[in-house]
Amino acid sequence: MLTFRIEARQSSPEVIIDKTNHLIEISGSSTFKNTSWFYSNVLKWAIAFNQQGANATTINIKLNKINDSSSKWIMLIMRKMSTLIPGHTIIVNWYYQPTNVNMQINGERLKLNSQIPVNLIAA
């Protein structure tokens, strides 16, 4: 199994990119300031792992906190994944706790502003 993994920290999320299962998972908290460096590396690994093989990649987002910069990067990752790999389907699952209204709203915003379908899942 080929897997790229970044451990979660206090303000940065855990990221798992699993080539075998064609899965990208971002979980925890994403409230740190240097999102460009962090998410640009996530994007590079995601593209590298998904260049061949699968027709679809699932992106599971399981965050409990997110800042605007992180939201923009997640949207960019979704767009890049869908345009850089012709014929590749992106499945986005946005998980939120029913009591976390902010994360539900962020997921709804992502869904409205994205051309990629986003599944909002209360978990």
What digits encode the pLDDT tens for the residues 55-113?
888 999 999 999 999 999 999 998 888 887 777 788 999 999 999 999 999 999 999 98
Give residue 51's pLDDT band: very low, low, confident or very high (50, 70, 90): low
In the predicted model, what is the mean pLDDT of the chain?
91
- Cα–Cα distance, 49 to 60 (Å, whole number): 16
Residue 54's domain comprises 3-122
- Tell me how far apart the alpha carbons of residues 77 and 61 are, in angstroms, rounded to a whole number: 12
Checking if the pLDDT of 54 tops 80, the result is: no
- CA pair distance 103, 87, nearest whole angstrom: 30
**Residue 52: band (very low, low, confident or very high) from pLDDT cuts 50, 70, 90:** low
Which pLDDT value is given to residue 38? 96
Total number of domains in the chain: 1
- pTM of the prediction? 0.92
Helix residue spans in the chain (DSSP H): 35-49, 68-84, 101-113
The CATH number that applies at residue 96 is 3.30.750
Report how far residue 123's alpha carbon sits from residue 112's, in angstroms, rounded to the nearest whole number.
20
Residue pLDDT, tens place only, 2-20: 899 999 999 999 999 998 8
Give the mean pLDDT of 30-45: 94
Residues 92, 59 contacting (CB under 8 angstroms)? yes
Per-residue pLDDT for 1 more than 70?
no
Rounded to whole angstroms, the Cα distance separating 31 from 65 reads 7
